[in-house]
Amino acid sequence: DAGITQSPRHKVTETGTPVTLRCHQTENHRYMYWYRQDPGHGLRLIHYSYGVKDTDKGEVSDGYSVSRSKTEDFLLTLESATSSQTSVYFCAISDRWAESSGNTIYFGEGSWLTVV
Amino acid sequence: KNQVEQSPQSLIILEGKNCTLQCNYTVSPFSNLRWYKQDTGRGPVSLTIMTFSENTKSNGRYTATLDADTKQSSLHITASQLSDSASYICVVSARGSQGNLIFGKGTKLSVKP
């Protein structure tokens, strides 16, 4: 298993509060991703990073921001949590771009977030 | 629009039986196709990766096929085990898409004793 740790694993928060999810990797992989998984949808990309301080938006980035100050850590922040952001959040890592066929994309175990 | 469709949505089989899961995609230009296994409450785990030129890829009792002409893939599971109960997700990547993978909604497989 790839060394990916997500924290917290479970969180309940109130609408309007900020929330930060952390992804920590020990593989020294360059690329890191945040996805959300909801019933009736495939995983959807929120933000991704291609290096320290290099990040970009994914398909469903509204209401989310990210930061990557070290290779090993990728933080996802919900600036003002809403009920529509209740979801399971997965961090993923790879040593090459996701479109590259020669790499495996490893996923963390997920963070369950409930916004009430 | 790039899309990945999987069928069936769910499947129940008896332990020891074989099964085949389907994936159709409309992603262009195609780069690669992956199959993942996701146990309940866990993150997805990679099973296979195939490029345009690969027709078949095996990983133990899992065999994936790819027909790039018809844009179809299948995942065949041989001699199923109770531990095969999981969701199986087809994921397609387009060239130039950088980090954006297109995920199917998955097929939920239940293997009964």
pLDDT tens digits, one per residue of A7-31: 999 999 999 999 999 999 999 999 9
Q: What is the pLDDT of residues A46-101, one digit of tens each?
A: 999 999 999 999 999 999 999 999 999 999 999 999 999 999 999 999 988 776 76
Q: Does B26 lie at the interface with A, CB-CB under 8 angstroms?
A: no
Give yes or no for B99 touching A (CB within 8 A). yes
Instruction: Give the residues across from B57 on adjacent strands.
Output: B64
Residue B94 confidence (pLDDT): 86
Residue-level pLDDT at B41: 94
* Exposed / middle / buried, residue B51 (Cβ in 10 Å: 0-12, 13-18, 19+): middle
Per the CB < 8 Å rule, is A97 touching B99? yes
pLDDT digits (tens, 9 = 90+) for B33-62: 999 999 999 999 999 999 888 899 999 999
Contact with chain A for residue B44, Cβ under 8 A: yes
Query: A–B: how many Cβ contacts below 8 A?
Result: 72
* Phi, psi of A63, deg, nearest 5: 90, 0
Of the candidates B32, B103, B106, the beta carbon closest to that of A101 is on B32
pLDDT at residue B96 greater than cutoff 90:
no
Question: What is the pLDDT averaged over residues B74-91?
Answer: 98
What is the pLDDT, as a whole number, of residue A99?
67
| Beta strands, E only, A14-78 | 19-25, 31-37, 44-51, 54-57, 64-70, 73-78
Mean pLDDT of all residues belonging to chain A: 94
**B58-74 tens-digit pLDDT:** 999 999 999 999 999 99
Cβ atoms of A43 and A37 within 8 Å: the answer is: yes
- Residue A98 has a pLDDT of 72
On whether any CB of chain A is under 8 Å from the CB of B37, the answer is: no
- Judged against a pLDDT cut of 80, whether residue B98 lies above it is answered with no
B11-41 pLDDT, tens digit each: 999 999 999 999 999 988 888 999 999 999 9
Q: What is the pLDDT of residue A1?
A: 65
To the nearest whole percent, how much of chain A has pLDDT over 90? Answer: 86
Mutation site, A101, A107, A109, A111, interface B, largest B CB count within 10 A: A101
Residue B54's SS3 state is coil
Inter-chain touch B100–A45, beta carbons under 8 Å: yes
Residue B102, min C-alpha distance to chain A (Å): 8
Q: What is the mean pLDDT of residues B67-87?
A: 97
Cα distances from A73 to residues A57, A59, B20, in angstroms, run 17, 21, 38
Whether chain A has a CB inside 8 Å of the CB on B21: the answer is no
A102, closest residue in chain B (CA to CA): B49
Q: Do A98 and B100 touch (CB under 8 A)?
A: yes
| Distance in Å, alpha carbon of A36 to nearest chain B alpha carbon | 11
Given the DSSP bridges, would you call strands B30-38 and B86-94 parallel, antiparallel or unpaired?
A: antiparallel
Note whether A58 contacts B: Cβ–Cβ < 8 A: yes
Query: Rounded distance, CA A29 to CA B3, Å?
Result: 28
A4: chain B residues, CB-CB within 8 Å: 43
Pair of tokens at residue B76: 């065949």
Give the pLDDT of residue B43.
96
